[in-house]
Structure 1
């Protein structure tokens, strides 16, 4: 592909990402995979150049651009080499005109920026939400030692996280160590909030929103493969990933159970009041994961936020019914919005007499209301809120 063709391909890719954001379609990384699969003629350098420019555009423009061209044109205004590719050639974009629309730079829609400021996040914290994320691994202590994985893959061991290794952002997660279960791709923040369960060997844990099972496997490692974990979710495709991942990781104590949305309590009646630890990694806005999914801020609306907040509240109440009298709930969202974090937990405590927030001792993060908050700028992790709740 020549430079002009690369620019046109970038516009086409960003248009597909925009359309998916508006319609609730696939995530940007999946769209990019499909995009290049349909363009086998694009070489590795072409794919890298198109992907890099596309993600630059996604990161730069927080207010949703009207079109992909308006975003790339705005980038070209500050980049003469890019502007020169708008040459009107057979495979290139039409020339830029002075009066055509330009996308508006910014972190996010104004209502979201206001919500972040209300949560006590300053501009430096917000800017870090769109940095490129590194590749983090969690060494599976059931299968390997960290020194072994470091010797094969390299990377930087986290001094405060005994199972964690960090690799550069451009590292491709393709290694025999990942395929045979000796390590899992997992952000440092996700590893840290998993520690908040304080799970121990021999107990009974429920991962209420298990998804593909990342935190289930982390909890299983804490439990040294002894005890029982019931891993539940309402998303069949995501939950179906757990069994092969658990087999690779040598985890035999995790039992997947598919639930119907809105019927979680009834379908878990056989374990009501029995769990030592319930993990609620609740569906959320994902504002803490913009480093990996910057187009997610194009998907979020006030109405969608209201819906996920209502779901979170319901799941917390479900979790309360599953815990033993001495059991605990670990509530986690990969969001930095107070409606989903401290406000959600404050509301739970207000409507559930006898419950209280328990102190947390985590290697990173700062106290934020009844829990702790981790941010990219302060903790070099994805953004999370986590709280641990118990009776008494």
Structure 2
């Protein structure tokens, strides 16, 4: 493909991504995969170049662009060489005309920028949310140590914060390695690993991962428990939870799974009420801390969605708290940096539940944020997280 044809292909793909964002459709990754699958004639170099253009344009636009062409014109605004590719050549984009729509730049839609600022994120913090994310893995200590794994890997791996995290070059196809098939590691952001450290589970404990999803954090907890004790992973999403048994078998983690019916969670967990030593609540959220991986996600959020997430977060906190024994603890986690979903939720819970108190476990990165802990890409080189560990007082 010519450079101009690559630009036009990126515009076409961006149109599909923008339409999906407006309609709450498939992710950009999925759309791109399907788009290229339908165009097998596009070579690997062209695919990489087109994907680079698409994701660069997504990062360059703040609000949702009116079109893929407007998004690409935003990317080309300060790039004369790219503007020259709008030349009307065969398979290339039409020439630029006067007063043509150019997408607005910025970090996110203005209302969302204002909420990030109100949550204590300065300009550098906000800009870092759109950086390119590295690839982190977690050594599975049920099978291997971090240093032993590092020696075995076919690429250079950098130890990063926490005792089990390694950082690989971006784009590494780590899940194709035999070490992954052997269950020696999982792909997981170092910040996510650190959130699990905050719960400080121990061998022999009774532990619940309440919003387990596909089980990324469940596997961390199981390794920390050394398969001694009882580990229960729950979720209301059958498709996601169904992926956990295979992952757990590969990792050698002993875990029970339980599919919950929405609205009936407490009844279906009656045998666990007041029994758990530790509960992990990886709450549903807007994902503002993961824009490095899914930059188009900021086009899918609106204020009503934030309110819905807050209601869900309050609900899972209530459910999780009911499972904890006196003297036990829970860790509440969101991969969002909006206070409405993080610090405000914890403050509201503590105000309504005086028999709980926050603790700040020592961690190798991040900093305290109100009654919890915050990780920000700019300072901590992880995805963005807020988490808080709470202990139920013994009366």
Q: Name the TM-score, length of structure 1 as normaliser.
A: 0.97
Task: Trace 1:124-139 onto structure 2 (pairs within 5 A).
Answer: 124-139=124-139
In structure 2, how many angstroms separate the alpha carbons of the residues matched to 1:36 and 1:150? 34
Contact 1:134 1:169 in 2 (8 A): yes
In structure 1, how many angstroms separate the alpha carbons of the residues matched to 2:117 and 2:51? 31
1:228 pairs with one of 220, 227, 230? 230
Q: 1:84 — aligned with what? A: 84
Shift of 1:147: 2.4
Task: Trace 1:279-318 onto structure 2 (pairs within 5 A).
Answer: 279-318=280-319
Q: 2:40 — aligned with what? A: 40
In structure 1, how many angstroms separate the alpha carbons of the residues matched to 2:158 and 2:82? 39
Shift of 1:250: 0.7
In structure 2, how many angstroms separate the alpha carbons of the residues matched to 1:261 and 1:3? 50
Structure 2 unpaired stretches of 5+: none
In structure 2, how many angstroms separate the alpha carbons of the residues matched to 1:360 and 1:291? 27
Shift of 1:262: 2.1
Shift of 1:152: 2.9
Helix, strand or coil at the partner of 1:256:
strand
Q: 2:20 — aligned with what? A: 20
Contact 1:146 1:163 in 2 (8 A): yes
Helix, strand or coil at the partner of 2:295:
coil
Task: Trace 1:70-81 onto structure 2 (pairs within 5 A).
Answer: 70-81=70-81
Q: 1:178 — aligned with what? A: 180
Helix, strand or coil at the partner of 1:189:
helix
In structure 1, how many angstroms separate the alpha carbons of the residues matched to 2:156 and 2:218? 25
Change beyond 3 A, Cα 1:77–1:353: closer
In structure 1, how many angstroms separate the alpha carbons of the residues matched to 2:364 and 2:194? 7
Task: Trace 1:351-370 onto structure 2 (pairs within 5 A).
Answer: 351-370=352-371
In structure 2, how many angstroms separate the alpha carbons of the residues matched to 1:275 and 1:13? 48
Count of residues in correspondence between the two structures: 391
Deviations 1:201-223 (CA, angstroms, capped at 9, x unpaired) = 11111101101100000001110
Shift of 1:159: 5.3
Q: 2:2 — aligned with what? A: 2
In structure 1, how many angstroms separate the alpha carbons of the residues matched to 2:360 and 2:73? 50
Helix, strand or coil at the partner of 2:30:
helix
Q: 1:167 — aligned with what? A: 168
Task: Trace 1:183-332 onto structure 2 (pairs within 5 A).
Answer: 183-252=185-254, 254-332=255-333
Shift of 1:390: 1.4
Task: Trace 1:86-125 onto structure 2 (pairs within 5 A).
Answer: 86-125=86-125
Helix, strand or coil at the partner of 2:363:
coil
Contact 1:360 1:372 in 2 (8 A): no
Contact 1:139 1:184 in 2 (8 A): yes
Q: 1:141 — aligned with what? A: 141
Structure 1, 93-102 or 280-289: larger mean CA deviation: 93-102
In structure 2, how many angstroms separate the alpha carbons of the residues matched to 1:274 and 1:12? 54
Shift of 1:364: 1.0
In structure 1, how many angstroms separate the alpha carbons of the residues matched to 2:74 and 2:198? 44
In structure 1, how many angstroms separate the alpha carbons of the residues matched to 2:300 and 2:258? 29
In structure 1, how many angstroms separate the alpha carbons of the residues matched to 2:260 and 2:182? 29
In structure 1, how many angstroms separate the alpha carbons of the residues matched to 2:121 and 2:76? 31
Contact 1:360 1:371 in 2 (8 A): no
Contact 1:230 1:257 in 2 (8 A): yes
Q: 1:373 — aligned with what? A: 374
In structure 1, how many angstroms separate the alpha carbons of the residues matched to 2:331 and 2:107? 30
In structure 2, how many angstroms separate the alpha carbons of the residues matched to 1:82 and 1:155? 34
Helix, strand or coil at the partner of 2:112:
helix
Deviations 1:134-176 (CA, angstroms, capped at 9, x unpaired) = 0000000112222232123233343542211001223223311
* Backbone CA RMSD of aligned residues: 1.3
